[in-house]
Amino acid sequence: MPEIRTDPITGGRVIIAPERANRPTDLVAAGEPGTGGPCVFCEGHEAETPGEVLSFREPQSAPNAPGWRVRVVPNRFPAFEQATQPLEPVERIDFFRVQPAYGRHEVAIESPRHLVSITQLSQQGVREVVWAYRERLAALKEDSRLVYPQVFKNSGLAGGASLEHVHSQIMATPFVPGGIAERLARSLTFYRRHTQCVFCDLIRRELAAGERIVSETPEYVVLCPFASRVPYETWILPKAHASHFEQISSEVAGLLALVLQQTLARIEGLLEVPAYNYLIHTSPFDTSPLDHYHWTIEIVPRVTKVAGFEWGTGIYINPVPPEDAASLLRW
Amino acid sequence: MPEIRTDPITGGRVIIAPERANRPTDLVAAGEPGTGGPCVFCEGHEAETPGEVLSFREPQSAPNAPGWRVRVVPNRFPAFEQATQPLEPVERIDFFRVQPAYGRHEVAIESPRHLVSITQLSQQGVREVVWAYRERLAALKEDSRLVYPQVFKNSGLAGGASLEHVHSQIMATPFVPGGIAERLARSLTFYRRHTQCVFCDLIRRELAAGERIVSETPEYVVLCPFASRVPYETWILPKAHASHFEQISSEVAGLLALVLQQTLARIEGLLEVPAYNYLIHTSPFDTSPLDHYHWTIEIVPRVTKVAGFEWGTGIYINPVPPEDAASLLRW
Among the ranges given (A11-20, A30-39, A154-163, B61-70), the one the predictor scored with the smallest mean pLDDT: A30-39
| Partner B contacted by A114 (CB < 8 A) | no
Are residues B177 and A315 in contact, defined by beta-carbon separation less than 8 angstroms? yes
Catalytic residue among B167, B241, B292, B294: B167
pLDDT in tens, A178-211: 999 999 999 999 999 999 999 999 999 999 999 9
Which strand (E) or helix (H) includes residue B133? Answer: helix B123-140
* Residue of A152, A279, A311 with shortest CB distance to B277: A311
Q: Inform me whether the pLDDT recorded for A86 exceeds 70.
A: no
Chain A hits for B29, CB-CB cut-off 8 Å, are 29
Cβ separation B160–A307 shorter than 8 A: yes
By C-alpha distance, the chain B residue nearest A305 is: B160
Distance from CA of A169 to the nearest CA of B (A): 9
- Which residues 180-219 on chain B approach chain A with CB closer than 8 angstroms? 180, 182-183, 186-187, 198-199, 201-202, 205
Residue A284's nearest CA partner among A329, A245, A237, A238 is: A245
| Contact: A10, B180; criterion CB under 8 Å | no
Decide if B281 touches A, using CB distance below 8 A.
Answer: yes
Q: Do A227 and B7 touch (CB under 8 A)?
A: yes
For residues A10 and A19, give the distance between their C-alpha atoms in angstroms, rounded to a whole number. 26
B96, A226: Cβ pair inside 8 Å? yes
Q: Could you tell me if B153 lies within 8 Å of chain A, comparing CB atoms?
A: yes
Interface check for A12 against chain B (CB to CB < 8 A): the answer is yes
A161 touches chain B (CB under 8 A): yes
Q: Predicted confidence band at A26 (pLDDT cuts at 50, 70, 90)?
A: confident
Compute φ and ψ for B202, nearest 5 degrees: -60, -45
If DSSP codes are grouped into helix, strand and coil, which group holds residue B16? strand
What A326-329 contacts at long range (C-beta under 8 Å, 24+ apart), as own/partner pairs, is A326/A211, A326/A212, A326/A213, A326/A214, A326/A223, A326/A224, A327/A211, A328/A232, A328/A270, A329/A214, A329/A224, A329/A232, A329/A234, A329/A263, A329/A266, A329/A267, A329/A270
Distance from CA of B155 to the nearest CA of A (A): 9
pLDDT at position A30: 65
d(CA A61, CA A54): 13
Query: Which of B91, B109, B134 has the alpha carbon at shortest distance from B41?
Result: B109
Q: Which of B13, B306, B315 sits opposite A15 (nearest CB)?
A: B315
What distance in Å separates the CA atoms of residue B130 and residue B125, rounded to the nearest whole number? 9
ipTM surpassing 0.90: yes
Do the chains contact at B305 and A160, CB–CB below 8 Å?
A: yes
Give the percent of chain A with pLDDT over 90. Answer: 87
Q: For residue A75, how many C-alpha atoms fall within 13 Å in the half-sphere facing its CB?
A: 25
The C-alpha of B201 sits at a distance from chain A's nearest C-alpha, in angstroms, of: 9
SS3 (DSSP) at B204: helix
- CB of A79 within 8 Å of a chain B CB? The answer is yes
Asked if A150 lies within 8 A of B9 by C-beta distance, the reply is: no
Residue A93: band (very low, low, confident or very high) from pLDDT cuts 50, 70, 90: low
Q: Indicate yes or no: CB of B308 within 8 angstroms of CB of A7.
A: no
pLDDT for the residue numbered B28? 72
Enumerate the residues of chain B whose CB falls inside 8 A of the CB of residue A199: 9
| Percentage with pLDDT > 70 across chain A | 96
Residue A263, CA atoms < 13 Å, CB-side half-sphere = 33
Contact A205, B95 (CB under 8 A): yes
Nearest CA in chain B to A325: B18
Residue A55's nearest CA partner among A46, A81, A269 is A46
Biggest CA pair distance of chain A: 56
pLDDT given for residue A83 in this prediction: 77
Chain B nearest C-alpha distance from A318 (Å): 5
At B284 the pLDDT is 98
Pairing of strands A13-16, B316-318: parallel
The catalytic residue among A105, A165, A167, A244 is: A167
Span of A85-89, A281-285, A293-297, B264-268 with lowest mean pLDDT: A85-89
CB contact under 8 A, B9 and A183: yes
Closest CB to A277: pick one of B95, B159, B307.
Answer: B307
CB contact under 8 A, B314 and A178: yes
Per-residue pLDDT of chain B (331 residues; tens, 9 = 90+): 899 999 999 999 999 999 888 888 887 776 677 788 899 999 999 999 999 999 999 999 999 999 999 999 999 999 998 877 765 544 455 799 998 899 999 999 999 999 999 999 999 999 999 999 999 999 999 999 999 999 999 999 999 999 999 999 999 999 999 999 999 999 999 999 999 999 999 999 999 999 999 999 999 999 999 999 999 999 999 999 999 999 999 999 999 999 999 999 999 999 999 999 999 999 999 999 999 999 999 999 999 999 999 999 999 999 999 999 999 999 9
- State which residue of chain B sits closest to A231, comparing Cα positions: B16
Contact A21 B320 (CB under 8 A): yes
* CB-based contact, A225 to chain B, within 8 Å: yes
Compute the count of residue pairs across chains A and B with CB atoms less than 8 Å apart: 245
Quick check: A84 pLDDT over 90?
A: no
Any B CB within 8 A of A314 CB: yes
Q: Does A312 touch chain B (CB under 8 A)?
A: yes
Nearest CB partner across the interface for B318, out of A11, A15, A95: A15
Residues A284 and A287: their CA atoms lie apart, in Å, by 6
Q: Which strands form B13-16's sheet, in the order they lie side by side? A: A316-318, B13-16, B3-6, B97-100
A-chain residues near B8 (CB < 8 A): 198, 202, 226-227
pLDDT given at position A85: 72
Contacts of B311 in chain A (CB under 8 A): 152, 277, 279, 298, 300
Q: Which of B5, B202, B317 sits opposite A20 (nearest CB)?
A: B317
Query: In this complex, do B308 and A29 lie within 8 Å of one another by their Cβ atoms?
Result: no
User: What does the alpha-carbon distance between residue A46 and residue A56 come to, in Å, rounded to a whole number?
Assistant: 14
Name chain B contacts of A152, Cβ cutoff 8 Å.
307-309, 311-312
Q: Is B244 a catalytic residue?
A: no
- pLDDT tens across A97-113, in order? 998 899 999 999 999 99
